[in-house]
Amino acid sequence: MPKPDTRESRADTFPEPSLTSSAQAPLVVSAAAQDDPRRLNSGPAIVTISYWWVLRLPQVSELLACACLARLAGRMFDLAIILYTLRRFGSPALTGWVAFAAFGPGLIASPFAGALLDRLRAPLAIIVDMLITAGLVLALIFLDQAEKLGSASLIVLVTMCSLTSPLSASGIRVLIPRLVPDDALERSNALDTGSYALIEVVGPALAGGLFGFAGPAATMIVIVIFMRWRPPASFQF
């Protein structure tokens, strides 16, 4: 009788190893990756990426916190300035122009934000935007309390706030890929997008509640406080 081919039986019993995708098998994190999250490819172990893992990366949580507070202040200001104009001047027509000034110039300036980011570092661009906007809102509060704020000066202040707003929006999007490995971009972008969607709802609600209970001045001061949160000085890009 012919002898069985031991090579064939051995191949049937022990199939050759193959790469397993993350969707087909549970993934584990190597010890090296646990000690230093940036070392995704430091060993042969396959690494799974969680949202908590992404937040543990250096400077990622600080950047997302800065982004959340900057966006929250922006969404609050968008509604607060409209409510303020209606209360202060009682003119729906002027309110419409103020609403246009709050959004239109920023849309026009958005294509030029990329060119500015090439000349300025992204963290510096974010800081410049937040400081300028906070200063303009403080000027608005001061002029209002001094009863020297006219319709023209209001539109000018709101327009200047809108012109610098693309710097923060674009700067945050530029920084995220620089802080996380390529394998973690999907998770980091999901965190950024999710927080943005949440703030789109929370911002106007918080502004409306503060305006109703505490008045326009207190609402604007809270907005300025949120804008004072800036990227830490350790950002070097």
Highest mean pLDDT among 21-30, 41-50, 66-75, 175-184: 66-75
Count Cβ neighbours within 10 Å for each residue of 220-231 and write b for 16 or more, e otherwise. Answer: bebbbebbebbb
Q: Which fold has domain 59-227?
A: Growth Hormone; Chain: A; (1.20.1250)
Is the pLDDT confidence value at 51 over 90?
A: no
pLDDT in tens, 3-32: 544 444 444 443 333 333 333 333 334 434
Helix H or strand E encompassing 18: none
pLDDT at 187: 87
The per-residue pLDDT for 23 is 35
Distance from C-alpha of 75 to C-alpha of 202, rounded to nearest angstrom? 8
Model confidence pLDDT, tens digit, residues 166-211: 888 777 777 888 888 888 888 888 888 888 899 999 999 999 999 9
- Residue 225 CA to residue 88 CA, distance in Å, equals 23
Give the pLDDT of residue 129: 84
User: Given a cut of 90, is residue 80 above it in pLDDT?
Assistant: yes
46 contact partners, CB below 8 Å, separation of at least 6: 20, 22, 25, 27, 28
Domain ranges in the chain are 59-227
